[in-house]
Amino acid sequence: MTIISELPFYYFFICLVAALFYAGILYYREKKRDTFSKTILFSLFSLRFFAVGMICLLLMNFLLKRNINETEKPLIILSLDNSASVVSGKDSVEIKTEFLKKVDGLRNSLSSKYNVQSLLFGNKITKSPVPDFSDKETDISQLLNDIENNYSNQNIGALVICSDGIINKGSNPVNQTGKFKFPVYTVALGDTTVKKDLILLKVNHNRIAYLGNKFPVEAVIQSYKSTGNEALVTISNGTAKKSEQKIKITSDNSVQTLNFVLEADKPGVQKYNISVSPLNGELNTINNSQNFIVDVIDTREKILILASAPHPDVAAIKESIESGQTYEVETGYADFSKPLKPYSLVILHNIQISNSRLATELANNNQPYLLIVPRQNDNIPGLKISVVSTKLNETEPVLNKNFGLFNLSDELKKFIKDFPAVNCYFGNYNTTAGSNTLLFQKIGFVETENPLLLFSENSGLKSGVIVGDGIWRWKLRDYAEHGNHNLFNELILKTVQYLSVKADKSFFRLITKKIITENEPIAFDAEVYNQSYQLITEPDVVVMLTDENGKQYNYTMSKNQNSYFVEAGLFPAGEYKYKSTIKVNNQVFSQNGMITVKEVVAEKINTVADHALLFQLAQNTGGKLFPKNELDKLEKELMNNELIKPVTYTQKQLNDLIDLKWIFFLILGLFSVEWFLRKRSGTI
């Protein structure tokens, strides 16, 4: 400890001189000083000198500088794999009983010398010492990330990972070990013996299909020690068999991919099962089958393209819309006579609509439409064109950075400037109120404010205009640069989506996912509107979930600023019906539907332990791999490792002397002792 001050250091001696002078004068002038013995007089003088001197030091605002040493014991992180695959083998009983007891003993022994933190990992990280082996996935990389984020500022001595090494989620943890400065010790669990086994490794499929369409399904099948055998792969929907194929196994370790094409013949959420027939002598058949779910939508939005004549623009737009798989496109020409009402959007290419049947029917239906290359005398929504001459300008597109009706990807925003020029009429362009321009015209090197692609909305009716002719060139340039039409398709599909989507005018809207996994919580969002379509949150929203056995779960949604939310939690695989109701001004609104919870089968697919992964984790960090029956050796390794040692931190602390309470009591004690001696001597 040192005493410091902003004042010159000789002030310290001034304080001592002042105290010495004050104590000397006091006892020199003491009338009864002859009654004191020399010892008592010196003691009284000393007490007063130290008390007054300390008061002077406090008044001078001296500071006390101290170095405080703190010693932090090493932290041992003891992590256990909580996934189901750990106890899927023949040693499951041993792991649940004897092994966990040994882990408790290891934890208690290490706690005598180190700080010990117990973690469980699987598909989530939990601070708990007791596993239940219920997690449906294993992600060791998540464990390493959690340690890096939450324990990096602590003195980590070592990380112990008890696992079977089977990972089915996240990245390869071996790639993350280079950034750790502490050893990783691994404890190998599970069985590495490879037995005869057929594994349905993966099923790839569309999440959505449209009624009457066909959709692909891809099955990846892995085989072990099954050379010369044949198996039957079957896909069924309920009791109906949809497709089957035979496979022949030609090696002891092979992977085969089978492709199926199924027809979406029933609307709604359809549950399919794909299974591989078991082999003679195959012990584990739980990984021979998987369920997958496809949401079959029974209606697609219809888009009508009407053109004055065949044109490359029409073909390019039609192909782009169909690439989205959510629209059904029909093309017509001048002789088209069907009603327009069934169509979500009408695209008019080089057709004059003013004072025609088309204009009247579109207005009566309040139907959105897109004009491409409009005529000069057309009643163009949001735009007036006065053609100065019949000359055409070669016009390049320029993105309006302030456009906000919908978002474009960064790749498309950057590529728009590379789109080739299209042909536009030379004339005066004037936009009207309610219009929003997405693309401006660039003529030569001059960027104008003339619109090339704009949108408008009048009394709830959406419309759009593409002024230029030749946008098929944009599609070809996209393919030439990228080998696909993705950016051109994005531009057309987002244009069509904005124009065709119908505004939801309901007063009660409930939002939830139709298909989730059992690792995801069932959650609902809701919005409630009054008659003026203003968001309100006064009434309560009640949600009732019903499982396949008829058991009901009731929830009252929480209220946020302008919406409602409730998280019902995790539910086992199955189908759940929901119904939500709300009462607004004596009027009851309700929403209902069905949620399908998919089973997570990752832990059932591969049950062969991967001790090589555990060995690499340990080797890359200077640790070691131990079998599960050698925890005593692991304990000795950790207890005797000289690199795992405490860390002492020195902290500099600066305090005002006046803030130290003990100084007050010291001064009070000095004066008290002085008073007591004077009292005892009879001078008071």
Q: Is 313 among the domain residues?
A: yes
Same structural domain, 321 and 275: no
Q: How many domains, in total, are found in the chain? A: 5
Same structural domain, 325 and 458: yes
Same structural domain, 110 and 178: yes
Q: The domain that contains 215 carries what CATH number?
A: 2.60.40.10
Identity of the residue numbered 289: S
| Whole-prediction pTM | 0.61
Q: At which of 474, 500, 526 does a domain end?
A: 500
Q: At which of 266, 297, 328 does a domain end?
A: 297
Q: Is 604 among the domain residues?
A: no
Its domain, for residue 560, covers 508-598
Same structural domain, 17 and 81: no
> Residue 279 gets which letter from DSSP?
P
Q: Which two tokens stand for residue 85?
A: 């695959």
What integer pLDDT is reported at residue 15 of this predicted model?
A: 82
CA angle 40, 43, 48 (to 5 degrees): 125
Low-confidence ranges of the chain (pLDDT < 50): none
Q: Is 647 among the domain residues?
A: no
Q: Is 405 exposed, middle or buried (0-12, 13-18, 19+ CB in 10 A)?
A: middle
Same structural domain, 34 and 123: no
Same structural domain, 326 and 267: no
Same structural domain, 412 and 341: yes
What integer pLDDT is reported at residue 564 of this predicted model?
A: 95
630-636: long-range pairs with CB below 8 Å, 24+: 631/102, 631/103, 631/105, 631/106, 631/187, 634/106, 634/160, 634/185, 634/187, 635/106, 635/109, 635/110
At residue 550, φ and ψ (nearest 5 deg) are: 90, 0
How far is 152 from 12, CA to CA, in rounded Å? Answer: 45
Q: Is 646 among the domain residues?
A: no
Q: The domain that contains 459 carries what CATH number?
A: 3.40.50.880
Q: At which of 297, 313, 334 does a domain end?
A: 297
What integer pLDDT is reported at residue 674 of this predicted model?
A: 81
Same structural domain, 118 and 208: no
What integer pLDDT is reported at residue 39 of this predicted model?
A: 80
What integer pLDDT is reported at residue 602 of this predicted model?
A: 83
- Give SS3 for 662: helix
Same structural domain, 109 and 149: yes
Q: Where in 73-196 does DSSP place strands (E)?
A: 75-81, 115-121, 125-126, 156-163, 184-188
Same structural domain, 356 and 457: yes
Q: Which residue, among 597, 581, 578, has the nearest Cα to 589 in the 3D structure?
A: 581
Q: Is 399 among the domain residues?
A: yes
How far is 312 from 197, CA to CA, in rounded Å? Answer: 55
Q: What share of the chain is helix, strand, coil (3-state, %, to 5)?
A: 30, 40, 35
What integer pLDDT is reported at residue 380 of this predicted model?
A: 79
CB 462 within 8 A of CB 382: no
Q: The domain that contains 631 carries what CATH number?
A: 3.40.50.410
Q: Is 173 among the domain residues?
A: yes
Q: Which residue, among 431, 437, 436, 429, has the nearest Cα to 457 in the 3D structure?
A: 436
As a three-state string, the secondary structure of 429-453 is: EEECCCEEEEEEEEECCEEEEEEEE
Same structural domain, 384 and 484: yes
What integer pLDDT is reported at residue 22 of this predicted model?
A: 84
Q: Is 133 among the domain residues?
A: yes
Number of Cα atoms under 13 Å in the Cβ half of residue 611: 13
Same structural domain, 334 and 453: yes
Q: Is 645 among the domain residues?
A: no
Residues 6 or more apart whose Cβ sits within 8 Å of residue 146: 119, 121, 125
DSSP 563-626: -EEEEEE---SEEEEEEEEEEETTEEEEEEEEEEEEPP-HHHH--S--HHHHHHHHHHHT--EE
Q: The domain that contains 581 carries what CATH number?
A: 2.60.40.1930
